[in-house]
Amino acid sequence: MSEEPDRTESLVREFAPILHFHPKEGQYCCFPSDAEEIFDRYSSDWALFTKDLSPNTLDPSTPCYFETWKDEDFTQIRYWFWYRYNRFPNAPFGRGEHLGDWEHVEVRIYPQLEEGPSTIWLLSNHLEARLSSRPGDRTLPGFEAELPTLDDHHIHSWVALGSHANYPAPSSRPFCAVRVLCDKISDGGPVWDSGRNLKRLEDTNFVIYRGRWGDEKAPRSPTNDYNNRWRNAPDVLPVLCTK
């Protein structure tokens, strides 16, 4: 009997997330852009890469980068989005501002669990992640599951103003620093179908780069060990929610 064909490439297209931006994003900071262009211009001297609040309009053809892993039990996909700047709203003295901003949405697809097929989404949210699942009673240890908004297999993610943290709903409880400085999430802004221009990380001009995308406060490259396969959550199977 022949082996089942590898469906990873088709799954990448089927699960590409749909991002909803804050209506004021273009006035306040910036939308995703082409990381390869920035790397080509500045990787030889990151000191030339300075504060850049562009683009201020969403280009639907912006690249979405991805990487995949396939095990016996599940398929894992991580979608990466590059922003030129991170600007946390209302923070005094430039707190929370830094060059570059790599964000991502990860999906773990479990087709043959004893309890039935399951999907887990992990949405980057500052240094942690928000989790959604289908069925909605599944989670990973240490996470509180939020119901996803889905278009077939495409999860909708609401992007916080300036900080670009991802949320499963515009009504999600926002991340707050020192209680009063909170992410701003809203419906009604531009919507980006990230699946329109997908590109493998291994096919980019920065695949072997492990450093920071800017100065010492800038984020580490997606290929840095910090962003390893288990950054968001360990290698564990989904469990039933306790609540």
Ranges of each domain in the chain: 8-240
The whole-number pLDDT of residue 1 equals 38
pLDDT band of residue 6 (cuts 50, 70, 90) is confident
**Cβ 42 vs Cβ 49: under 8 Å:** yes
Name the pTM for this structure. 0.96
The whole-number pLDDT of residue 178 equals 80
Which of 100, 83, 59, 102 is closest to 193 using CA atoms?
A: 59
Mean per-residue pLDDT, 208-233: 97
pLDDT in tens, 133-146: 999 999 999 999 99
Other CB atoms closer than 10 Å to residue 46's CB: what's the count?
19
pLDDT in tens, 181-190: 999 999 999 9
C-alpha distances out from residue 123 to 56, 69, 126, Å: 23, 17, 10
Dihedrals phi, psi of 170, to nearest 5 degrees: -70, -15
pLDDT in tens, 156-179: 999 999 999 999 999 999 999 887
Considering the chain, what is the average pLDDT of its residues? 95
SS3 124: strand
